[in-house]
Amino acid sequence: MSQDKTHLEKAEWDEKEALQVIARFTDLKGGLMEALHGLQEAFGYIPPESYDLLAAAFNLSKAEVYGVKSFYHDFRSAPRGHHVVQICQAESCQALGSRALTSHVQNKLGIKLGETSHDGHFTLEAVYCLGNCAVSPNITLDGKLHGRMTETHFDSLVKAVAL
């Protein structure tokens, strides 16, 4: 989920900033998860340069850090596109046509789930339940949730950001 504010662009690697982010969480019990969230918020993804810093800060091996980072769907290895579309693929949205909506969105954006367009304009992601199941199907666009999504409505949302 994209509550990180700077996900629209990739921030340059900055070791000093990364260390500052990590330092906010080293005193927390089990703070590695929070530190990963913090880094992703700052850089838009988890830069591989941060693994050694995290390992040193939390007294772990680099492999353990990578193990945690790679376990969770949210922690990205690469920056996203300028605009991010997520489509719910879970049962409630399936019951109201999310499979057809997903095909439409893929055709419209010219990318498949999990891909970023070549121009870096759009990233399309699958999500499994946004907790808005009474008004399925659901998508998010740049972190804003939209319920009762239709193909026409989606096209108008895309048009608004593509200008």
Partner 1 sequence: MTDLMTLYVPLETTALSLGADEIVMALLSEAEKRGQDVEIIRNGSWGLSWLEPLVEVVTDKGRVAYGNMTVEDVPGLFDGGCAALCQGLTAEIPYLKTQDRLTFVRCGLIDALSLEDYQENGGFQGLEKALAMTPQQIVDQVTESGLRGRGGAAFPTGIKWNTVLGAGDGQKYICCNADEGDSGTFADRILMESDPYCLIEGMIIAGLAVGATEGFIYLRSEYPLCREILGEALINARDAGWLGQNIRGSGKAFDVQIRMGAGSYVCGEETAMLDSLEGKRGMVRAKPPLPAIHGLFGQPTVVNNVLSLATVPIIMAKGAEFYQDYGIGRSRGTIAFQLAGNIARGGLVEKAFGISLRELIEEYGGGTVTGTALKAVQVGGPLGAYLGEKDLDLPMDYEAFSDVGAVLGHGGIVVFDETADMAEQAKFAFDFCAIESCGKCTPCRIGSVRGAELMAKIQRGEKGDHNMALVRDLCDVMENGSLCAMGGMTPIPVLSALKHWPQDFKKADFGVKS
CB nearer to partner 1: pick between 93 and 124: 93
- Please tell me whether residue 158 binds partner 1 under the rule CB under 8 A: no
Q: Does 8 bind partner 1 (CB under 8 A)?
A: no
Q: How far is the CB of 67 from partner 1 (least distance, A)?
A: 6
Kindly identify the residues of this chain, within the stretch 27-66, that bind partner 1 according to CB under 8 A: 29-34, 36-37, 58
- Residue 80 is a binding residue for partner 1 (CB under 8 A): no
* Nearest distance from C-beta of residue 12 to partner 1, angstroms: 24
Among 63, 135, 161, 162, binds partner 1 (CB under 8 A): 135
- Site for partner 1 contains 142 (CB under 8 A): no
Q: Which residues contact 74 (CB under 8 A, 6 or more apart)?
A: 1, 37, 40
Looking at 55, 62, 94, 158, which residue binds partner 1 (CB under 8 A)? 94
- 3-state SS of the chain is CCCCCCCCCCCCCCHHHHHHHHHCCCCCCCCHHHHHHHHHHHHCCCCCCHHHHHHHHHCCCHHHHHHHHHHCCCCCCCCCCCEEEEEECCHHHHCCCHHHHHHHHHHHHCCCCCCECCCCCEEEEEECCCCCHHHCCCEEECCEEECCCCHHHHHHHHHHHHC
| Stretch of residues binding partner 1 (CB under 8 A), selected from 11-19, 113-121, 134-142, 154-162 | 134-142
Minimum distance, C-beta of residue 125 to partner 1, in the bound complex (Å): 10
Residues binding partner 1 (CB under 8 A): 1, 3, 29-34, 36-37, 58, 67-68, 71-75, 88, 90-96, 127-136, 138, 143, 145-148
